[in-house]
Amino acid sequence: MSKTKVFFDTHVLLYLLSADTRKANQAEQTIAQGGIISAQVLNEFCSVASRKLKRPYAEIRDVLITLRRLVSVEPLTEATHNSGMTLAERYGFCFYDSLIVAAAFWLDARCFILRI
């Protein structure tokens, strides 16, 4: 039996920057096991880390360098976009969340959302 592919939601990555060491440690342990993210997750991470968390881009870049060693980053495709629109319309999801779920679907991966 093949190992389940795990696709990380943006929140999992953002927990790495949490002042709550329990959350940060849990995220680090989870991500260290490997997985998949999409370019959309990278985009959301950069946006939230810089705008809401007020982190400097140098720090964000350092985190992303480490992340890219641990997870594979998949591009957004037209198929992902179209599926994301369908999910948003059908289930009322936020469009950007729908892109993440669609990317996990196209990669045949479980979407992992860490709530601590």
- Is residue 66 in a domain? yes
- Is residue 57 in a domain? yes
Give me the pLDDT at residue 5, please. 82
Which pTM does this prediction carry? 0.82
Give me the pLDDT at residue 34, please. 92
Task: Report, in this order, helix, strand and coil percent for the chain, each rounded to 5.
Answer: 65, 10, 25
- Is residue 80 in a domain? no
Instruction: Answer whether 5's CB lies under 8 Å from 109's CB.
Output: yes
- Is residue 63 in a domain? yes
Q: Which domain holds residue 53?
A: 6-75
Give me the pLDDT at residue 107, please. 81
The label of the residue with tokens 């705008």 reads 51
Give me the pLDDT at residue 1, please. 40
27's tokens = 């995220």
Report DSSP state, residue 75.
P
The domain tally of the chain equals: 1
- Ranges of residues in the chain with a pLDDT under 50 are 1, 116
